[in-house]
Each structure stands twice: as C-alpha cells, then as structure tokens.
Chain A
Amino acid sequence: MSLTHVIFGRLALHSLPFWSALQHPTLANIVNDTIASGAAGLVVVGAAVTVGLITYFGKWRYLWTEWLTSVDHKRIGIMYIVLAFVMLARALIEAVLMRTQQAFGLGGGFLSPEHFGELFSTHGTIMIFFMAMPFLIGLINVVMPLQIGTRDVSFPVMNSVSLGLTAAGATLVMISLVVGKFSTGGWSGYPPYTEITFSPGVGPDYWIWAVSLSGIGTMMTGINFAVTIYKRRAPGMTLMRMPLFTWTALCTSVLMIFAMPPLTVATVLLALDRYLGFHFFTNALGGNMMNYANLFWLFGHPEVYILILPAFGVYSEVIPAFSGKVLYGYTSLVLATMAIALLSFAVWLHHFFTMGQTAGVNATFGIATMLIGIPTGVKIYDWMMTMFRGRIRFTVPMVYSLGFMMLFVVGGLSGIILANPSIDYQVHNTLFLVAHFHNMLIPGLLFGMLAGYHYWFPKAFGFRLNERWGLASALCWIFGFMFAFFPLYALGLLGFPRRTVAFYNPIYVPYLAVAEFGALIILAALGCLVVQLVVSVRQREQNRVPGGDPWNASALEWSIAAPPPDYNFAVLPEVTARDAFMVAKEHGTAYLPPERFTDIELPRNSPLGMILCVTAAFATFGLVWHIWWMVGLAMLATIAAVIWHGFVRDYERVIPADKVRADHLRWLQTVGAIHPISRGEELAQENAGLADLHETAEAAE
C-alpha cells in the first residue's frame, strides 16, 4: 500500500466532478460534468461566501456563543429549520433538473443514467432525512416546550448533539457534490445493487453514513421529546389538556424511538457487507436481501407517520386559530393520532407486495393499510367541522391548510388504491407510486411545515412575515404541485417506470411537459419564500408583535412575549383546562402580574454538540474514502469529548428573580400600551400581538 493511499485513502484527482470531461471530452461527459461542477461550485462558493461574510462582519463569536453552542430549545429549533431550508433548496433544484431531463427524455435527453441516478438518490435522501426531518424536529423544538409550559427540553445538551449529528450527515451529502459520486441506489438503498459487487464506488458509503448519522440523531431527539412531554408539563397540564400539536409531537417521538433502530440496523449491516465482507444481503454465500427490505421498511413506514403527524398537529392548531373556534373533536383527534401511530407498525410489507409473499400475507397487510384511512378520515372531518360556521380568515397558514385538505384526500384515495395488492402488482414501480407519495408528502408534510413556519414565525422572531409574498408562494406551491404531480398518475397508469432517465414512446411527452411546467412553478414558490423572508426582515419594524399573540390563539406559547425570553415563562403557568391561554383571556386572567418571582435555573451553553458534529463529519468522511487514520483520530476525539462532558459540573446558570421581575413587568407595560385588534384586522400593521378580548369573550358565548 502506497503512502498516498495511506494518507488519502481512495481520494484522488478523479474524484473531482470535472475529471472525466477533461480526460474524455465527449459531449455527454462535458454536459454532465458541467452540471455537476456547477453544483459543486455552488456549494464551495456558497460555503466560502458564508464564511467570508461572517468574518467580514466579525460575527464568529456571536455565532459561537449565541447559536452553535446554545442549548436553548428555541435556537436549536431555528437552526434545524435553517438547515431544512438550505437542503430544501438543493433537493428542489435537483427535482427540477430531473423533470427537465424527462421532459426532454424522448430518445435520450441530456443527462447520463448515472447522473440521473445520483439525482433521484440525493433528492429522496435529502428531502426525507435532511429537509423533512429537520423541519419537523425544528418546529417541535421551538413550539412544544412552550405549549406544555416548560423552560427547556429534558436533555438540552443531547438536543444540541442531535442537531450536530444531523448537520454532519447533511454536510456529508453536500461534500458528495464536490468529491466523488453519490449513490445511484435510490433513497432506500436496496442491496444487492448497493453491495460492493455492483456499486464498488464511494456512492453507497456516502448514503450509508449520512443516513446513519441522521438516524442516530433522530433517535436521540425522539427520546428527548418523549421524556420532555411525559415529565415536564406545567402543573395541571394533564395529557388530555395538551394542545394537539404536542400530542402529535409525542406520537412522532414514540415512533422515532421505535422506528429509527431498524434503519440503523439496516444501514450498519449493509456497511458490514461493504467494508468487512459480511454476507447479510449479498447474492452469494447465504445472504438474503429480503432481510434488508423488511428492516428498511420497518423503519420506512413508521417514518411516513413520523413525517405526517407533526403536520397534522400544525393543521390542528392553525385551523381553529384562523376559524376563531375551539378545535372540534379533540378526543377523536387524539385517538386518531394514536391509532395511526400504532397502525404504522403493521403495514410495512405493502412496500414490497411484489416480492414473493403468499396472497394471504399480502391481503393481511393490504387490509391493515386500508385501515389507516379511517383515523385519517376522522381527522379531515374534525378539521372541516372546526371550520364550520367559524370566523375564517384566509391567511397564509390557512391557505396551506385548505390546499392540504383537498389535495391530501386525493393522495389518500390513491393510497387506498395502492393498498390493494392486486392493483399494486400492476402499478408498482411506476410514476403512479411517485405521484402518490408526493401527493401525501407535499400537501401533507410540506404544506404543514410551511403553515407552521408562517404561524409561529412571529412567536420565534417577534415580527410577522410578509403576507403577500407568502400568499404568492402558497398558491405557487398548491398549483405547482397539481401541475407537477397529477400528470404522473396518468403516466404511471400508462406504464412509465419510476427512476427512468429516457424513454422511446412519444405518448409520454405531453404529460411530462405539463409536469415540467409544474416543477417550474414550484421553483417559483421557493423563490417567493426567499423574497418573502428578505422583505419581511427589511420591514420588521412595522410588523413587530411584542404582545406575543398576533392570531388570538389558544395555546400557552401565545401567552408570553414574542420573541420569548430565554427562560420562556417568568412564572410557570398553572393549567386548569384545555386551550389554557384562551380560557385565561376569557376570564380576564391573562397578562396579570404574578405575585411572586423566583430564581430561574437554565442550562449553560455547551460545545459538545458542535464538537461531535465536527468529529462525526470527519469520521464518516474518512469511512467513505477509507482514510483510516482520520477515522481513528475522529473516533478518539469523539470518545474524549463525551468523557470530558461527563466531568463537567458547572452546567447551570441562574437568572435572579429580580431580573425576571423587571423583564416581565416591562413586558406587561408594553402589552398595556398596545392597541388590541379584532380578528378582522390581524393582517394590518396595527397588529402588535394583542387580541381584542371583548371579541374573544363574545366568541365564547
């Protein structure tokens, strides 16, 4: 083994994205390498510009002390969501690239099959693990502790570590754009294709370690959230008084605890096959890839509900708030959520109906799958009944919610169709399936996350987002989705296989052209979101909501200032009923100065999360490229950091009661000076976050 190999492992000049075009300058190589190098350049330039700007403005210390080492659940949540948006941008551009390739794919198109394979693999991997998961975890982080009336999650440092591991995984996926090639095995990474025999490159290794890091981080998040909800609820907050969003956060956390281990097992066993010559999923010597299919989907199906339940929670907050009504059928919504969580473990086999089980087994899982439609239907009716005769305002979160309700039912219907094994045999592996799960995940998950982003943004940052750009974005998402994915149902029925780079039958062209048009509208939706953020930040002074309750809403997070103080609640609230803050407003007990303030203990900053982020990124990068010294050093550093953390004793800081009192009384004074606004005026500039209590009392009668 040469010295270069010891130092650089498999890393060499040909790992760079423009190498093959330089060596073999054919037209296909030049086109593909230009796209890949452009993307790599974007990553490098983007990173360089970010670093440069931070240095130029001298913000490194601020970034380190206020954000990266912060263990405040609100800040960790915001960092998760920033990560989600960055990754969303990348994966969405990849989606548009794929749609464009297929629109011009009659007889070839411009992308090579390998390049296309990388695109659908990174698109799926990123959207699930580094967009959807960080987004919902971020939202839960910001909101759930406020809703249950506590000052932080149960394990704040572990929260930071979870973020660090997820960010390390995302970094690995970004690095794969610059050096080496990503897996072409799809987001599910099925062996034996991803085994060393068929994919000897670094691609599947990038996938394995990125996904493993995300999986471990998410499992810790699940433990953290579940323990927080079980142990840290404010006095009087019984389980059946929790806001629905917290309920869905709880069910999602329980799913994370039980569904992430199968993913870790699947990826680690695949890694053992690839690195040490084991025979779990190989073709030869007793390997059995069906074990992988079972393990992966034992994670994969509950994962679908990990993604969707928090979105259901968001809708259950948004719809009552913007209908001016109490949530209809609270108990049935709780039971439906728990039923979905339970059933989600009983349906995994429907992902491989065609892989050789008996008809009896398929029928059992088909029926179990259809059963999930029942609790989901209950939810849709509950939301509709919540809106019935309400004071509905078409704000951005409400527009997303309405778009969701209509489109999600369509997706659910196609799901019931797919749940029938005999139909599944006909359409499996076609674009019909692709249309179905995008129909569930875009209106279901993404609309929910974006609705939550608009709804809670004023709480997290203290000012409202621009409504007009938000509306433009929402409409682009809704209509772009319809144009992009409804043709895919037809294409699937016409037999167009999924993950296809090119085709030879012109009948597909018109449908693909419409889908391309839709993809461009979705790209415009992303553009609107960016513009909206810029405009909103510029106009922040006009849109401040220091009162903290801009939507006249009912859960506890609205009872405190916006943005909330570090310690969230000056005095922990006593809860006597569901919709605690609405009840307080109705009884005139909101905004009363507490009798007594006490010292507040808060966790100190910890660098552990960021240290583990860096060591995990180096360790996995070394594993991908077989740079063993790097793996060894990074592992040792990881262990050393964890041991060092065990010796830390001074991990709490105290905020004196006097300071809490002064801050809180000042805020109450601010609230007293705010002009309360009615529901009709909430989009006007006058909305400074105080609801017209008169109107609230009327609504109660």
Chain B
Amino acid sequence: MNGDTLDNPGFRLSAIHHHVDREDEVRFGFWVFLMSDAIIFGLIFATYATMIGATAGGPGPKKLFDIGSVAIETGALLLSSFTFGMASLALLYRSGRGVVIAWLVVTLLLGLVFLGFEVHDFLTMFALGGSPDRSGFTSAFFALVPLHGLHVTTGCIWMVVLIGQMLRYGTDEDVRLGVQRLALFWHFLDIVWIAIFSLVYLGGLA
C-alpha cells in the first residue's frame, strides 16, 4: 500500500527501518492466523480421510450427498469471492462508501444463499439417517463441513459489523484494515471449500 519497498508484506528481514507500519503489521498478523486456521482444517481433513470407510453399516456418501445442491453452494461461494474482490477494488480506488457497501451486501447475500443451501443439505442428510451420531463417517463429515459453514457464518456477522462501522466512521484506517482482513478470510474459506468440494463431495461420489 505504500512505496517503501524495503517493507515487504511478509517477514521484515531488512535492517533499515525506522517506523512500524501499522497496516502492514495487522495484515501480516492475519496471514499468520490463517496459517494456524489452515492447520485446523488440515487436521480435520486428515481425520475425515481416515474415517471415510467407517460407516458402521450406515449410509455413505452416495446415499447422502446431493451434488445439485452442492453445485449451487459452490457457485454462490465462488461468485461471492468475486463480488468481495469488487468491494476491495472499490475501497482501493476510493469509489465511495456506498459502492463498497453495495458490493459487500451482494457478497453477504451470496454467503447467506450458501448457508441456506448448506443447512438444507444437512437436514436432508438427517432425514436419510445420516446424522452425526450414526457413524464415524457421519461424525467426520459433520465436523468438517459445518466447521467451514461456521466460518462462513462468522464472516457474515463480521461483514454486517464492518458495514455498521462504515456507516458510523466512513472508510477510516480501521475499516480499511477490517475489510482487507475479512477479504483474506473470505477468499481463504473459498479455497477450503474447493478442497471440501473436491475431496468430500466429488471424491465421495466418484
């Protein structure tokens, strides 16, 4: 964001440096948090992988998953990453608070569409006898996929809060930093979803 090329966005390895760049520090801190969060997802993915076969005579992926619904969720989430990108660009080029908020509201709606379809999926699975207490497999599924959903829910609440802050303070430094961090979070969740879509859904139905 600034012209000081000695301050790279990651580790500060250079010796010549006379001030702490607040924005840079906060962004880097959030990257580090995402690394930690990625470990959590990675471990639950690994747990899921070891439990795919542990259906204990209960329903498996082929019976429980509805690829049509999942396709809609995927589309909504990928599109929401694009619309969030538009919000970030609006913020970067200072297109005005209204434009940023508008794109964020679109993103939020897409996030809610995703969550709505996901809850619908879960209820369908419950009805088909695939509740988490059925088997090791359903347990692992309901730890992994809803964890992602919980992250999306957190992101949605965060988005509402940021919109509130924007209405109150305009696009001050804290709001800009908030949007940048939420953007990282949102795109990160997109990547996790791609892994879930490929591994859990496509892998399970293959």
Residue ranges of A at the interface with B (Cβ–Cβ < 8 Å): 150, 154-155, 219, 222-224, 226-227, 230-233, 235-239, 257-258, 260-262, 264-265, 269, 272-273, 276-280, 284-288, 291, 295, 298, 639, 643, 646-647, 649
Tell me which of B24, B137, B140, B161 contacts A643 (CB under 8 A). B161
CB neighbours of A647 from chain B (8 A):
164-165, 168
Bound complex: CA of A224 vs CA of B32, how far in Å?
9
Bits for B19-40, please: 1 = Cβ < 8 Å to A, else 0: 0110011001100110111011
Check B47 against A280 for contact (C-beta < 8 Å).
yes
Chain B contributes a number of interface residues (CB within 8 A of A) equal to 49
Bound complex: CA of A260 vs CA of B40, how far in Å?
9
Given contacts A223-B29, A278-B133, A649-B172, is CB(A257)–CB(B161) below 8 Å?
A: no
Bound complex: CA of A262 vs CA of B45, how far in Å?
12
CB neighbours of A286 from chain B (8 A):
51, 54-56, 135-137, 139
Chain B residue at smallest Cβ distance from A230: B11
CB neighbours of A257 from chain B (8 A):
32, 35-36
A-B residue pairs in contact (CB < 8 Å), sample of 28: A154-B25, A155-B29, A227-B25, A231-B12, A231-B20, A231-B24, A231-B25, A233-B12, A235-B15, A257-B32, A257-B36, A261-B40, A261-B43, A264-B40, A272-B132, A278-B139, A278-B142, A278-B143, A279-B134, A279-B135, A279-B136, A280-B47, A280-B51, A287-B54, A288-B50, A291-B51, A295-B43, A649-B169
Is B63 an interface residue when CB atoms closer than 8 A count as contact?
Answer: no
Given contacts A261-B40, A278-B142, is CB(A227)–CB(B28) below 8 Å?
A: yes
Chain A residue at smallest Cβ distance from B25: A231
Check B17 against A235 for contact (C-beta < 8 Å).
yes
Tell me which of A261, A273, A277, A288 contacts B54 (CB under 8 A). A288
Check B139 against A227 for contact (C-beta < 8 Å).
no
CB neighbours of B143 from chain A (8 A):
269, 272, 278, 280
Tell me which of A224, A272, A643 contacts B139 (CB under 8 A). A272
Check A237 against B15 for contact (C-beta < 8 Å).
yes
CB neighbours of B15 from chain A (8 A):
235-238
Bound complex: CA of A257 vs CA of B35, how far in Å?
8
Check B174 against A649 for contact (C-beta < 8 Å).
yes
The 9 closest A-B pairs by CB, nearest first: A286-B136, A286-B54, A277-B133, A278-B139, A261-B39, A286-B56, A285-B56, A261-B40, A227-B29
Which of B37, B132, B165, B169 neighbours the largest number of chain A CB atoms within 10 Å of its CB?
Answer: B132
CB neighbours of B54 from chain A (8 A):
279, 286-288
Bound complex: CA of A258 vs CA of B28, how far in Å?
16
Given known contacts A223-B33, A258-B35, what 18 new A-B pairs fall within 8 Å (CB)?
Answer: A150-B20, A226-B32, A227-B25, A227-B29, A230-B12, A230-B28, A235-B16, A257-B32, A257-B35, A261-B36, A261-B40, A264-B40, A269-B143, A279-B139, A280-B143, A286-B137, A286-B139, A647-B165
Bound complex: CA of A232 vs CA of B21, how far in Å?
9
Is B1 an interface residue when CB atoms closer than 8 A count as contact?
Answer: no
Chain A residue at smallest Cβ distance from B137: A286
Bound complex: CA of A273 vs CA of B165, how far in Å?
39
Which of A258, A276, A646 neighbours the largest number of chain B CB atoms within 10 Å of its CB?
Answer: A646
Check A291 against B50 for contact (C-beta < 8 Å).
yes
Bound complex: CA of A238 vs CA of B162, how far in Å?
37
Check A646 against B20 for contact (C-beta < 8 Å).
no
Q: In angstroms, how far is the closest chain B Cβ from the Cβ of A105?
A: 40
Check B50 against A262 for contact (C-beta < 8 Å).
no
Q: In angstroms, how far is the closest chain A Cβ from the Cβ of B143?
A: 6
Check A258 against B36 for contact (C-beta < 8 Å).
yes
Chain B residue at smallest Cβ distance from A576: B15
Check B47 against A269 for contact (C-beta < 8 Å).
yes
Q: In angstroms, how far is the closest chain A Cβ from the Cβ of B19?
A: 9
CB neighbours of B24 from chain A (8 A):
231
Check A239 against B13 for contact (C-beta < 8 Å).
yes
Tell me which of A226, A231, A646 contacts B161 (CB under 8 A). A646
Bound complex: CA of A280 vs CA of B162, how far in Å?
37
Bound complex: CA of A265 vs CA of B56, how far in Å?
23
Bound complex: CA of A269 vs CA of B48, how far in Å?
12
Check B161 against A295 for contact (C-beta < 8 Å).
no
Which of B11, B39, B157, B165 neighbours the largest number of chain A CB atoms within 10 Å of its CB?
Answer: B39
Bound complex: CA of A278 vs CA of B136, how far in Å?
7
Bound complex: CA of A239 vs CA of B21, how far in Å?
18
Check B29 against A285 for contact (C-beta < 8 Å).
no
Check B47 against A276 for contact (C-beta < 8 Å).
no
Is B61 an interface residue when CB atoms closer than 8 A count as contact?
Answer: no
Bound complex: CA of A665 vs CA of B143, how far in Å?
60
Check B51 against A288 for contact (C-beta < 8 Å).
yes
Q: In angstroms, how far is the closest chain A Cβ from the Cβ of B148?
A: 14
Check A279 against B133 for contact (C-beta < 8 Å).
yes
CB neighbours of B51 from chain A (8 A):
280, 286, 288, 291
Which of A224, A277, A279 neighbours the largest number of chain B CB atoms within 10 Å of its CB?
Answer: A279
Chain B residue at smallest Cβ distance from A253: B32
CB interface residues, B 116-153, toward A, < 8 Å: 132-137, 139-140, 142-143
Q: In angstroms, how far is the closest chain A Cβ from the Cβ of B155?
A: 14
Tell me which of B20, B33, B168, B172 contacts A232 (CB under 8 A). B20
Bound complex: CA of A236 vs CA of B56, how far in Å?
61
Q: In angstroms, how far is the closest chain A Cβ from the Cβ of B162?
A: 8
Q: In angstroms, how far is the closest chain B Cβ from the Cβ of A344?
A: 15
Check B39 against A262 for contact (C-beta < 8 Å).
yes
Q: In angstroms, how far is the closest chain B Cβ from the Cβ of A342?
A: 16
Check B20 against A280 for contact (C-beta < 8 Å).
no
Is B178 an interface residue when CB atoms closer than 8 A count as contact?
Answer: yes
CB neighbours of A295 from chain B (8 A):
43, 47
CB neighbours of B178 from chain A (8 A):
646
Given contacts A154-B25, A258-B39, is CB(A277)–CB(B132) below 8 Å?
A: yes
Check A276 against B133 for contact (C-beta < 8 Å).
yes
Check A646 against B165 for contact (C-beta < 8 Å).
yes
Q: In angstroms, how far is the closest chain B Cβ from the Cβ of A603?
A: 11
Chain B residue at smallest Cβ distance from A238: B15
Chain B residue at smallest Cβ distance from A223: B32
CB neighbours of B142 from chain A (8 A):
278
CB neighbours of A226 from chain B (8 A):
32
Chain B residue at smallest Cβ distance from A292: B47
Is B183 an interface residue when CB atoms closer than 8 A count as contact?
Answer: no
Bits for B37-79, please: 1 = Cβ < 8 Å to A, else 0: 1011001100100110011101000000000000000000000
Which of A155, A257, A265, A288 neighbours the largest number of chain B CB atoms within 10 Å of its CB?
Answer: A265
Chain A residue at smallest Cβ distance from B135: A286
Q: In angstroms, how far is the closest chain A Cβ from the Cβ of B89?
A: 23
Bound complex: CA of A226 vs CA of B11, how far in Å?
10
CB neighbours of A278 from chain B (8 A):
132-133, 139, 142-143
Bound complex: CA of A646 vs CA of B164, how far in Å?
10
Given contacts A278-B132, A278-B143, A288-B50, is CB(A154)–CB(B17) below 8 Å?
A: no
CB neighbours of A235 from chain B (8 A):
15-18
Bound complex: CA of A45 vs CA of B100, how far in Å?
57
Bound complex: CA of A235 vs CA of B20, how far in Å?
10
CB interface residues, B 182-200, toward A, < 8 Å: none
Check A154 against B29 for contact (C-beta < 8 Å).
yes
Bound complex: CA of A262 vs CA of B42, how far in Å?
10
Q: In angstroms, how far is the closest chain B Cβ from the Cβ of A618?
A: 21
Check A280 against B139 for contact (C-beta < 8 Å).
yes
Q: In angstroms, how far is the closest chain B Cβ from the Cβ of A534?
A: 41
Q: In angstroms, how far is the closest chain A Cβ from the Cβ of B129?
A: 13
Q: In angstroms, how far is the closest chain A Cβ from the Cβ of B58?
A: 8
CB neighbours of A265 from chain B (8 A):
40, 43-44, 47
CB neighbours of B133 from chain A (8 A):
276-279
Chain B residue at smallest Cβ distance from A264: B40
Bound complex: CA of A264 vs CA of B15, how far in Å?
37
Given contacts A154-B25, A223-B29, A258-B39, is CB(A285)–CB(B136) below 8 Å?
A: yes
Bound complex: CA of A578 vs CA of B145, how far in Å?
50
Q: In angstroms, how far is the closest chain A Cβ from the Cβ of B182?
A: 11
Chain B residue at smallest Cβ distance from A295: B43
CB neighbours of A222 from chain B (8 A):
36
CB neighbours of B135 from chain A (8 A):
279, 285-286
Check A219 against B36 for contact (C-beta < 8 Å).
yes
CB neighbours of B58 from chain A (8 A):
285
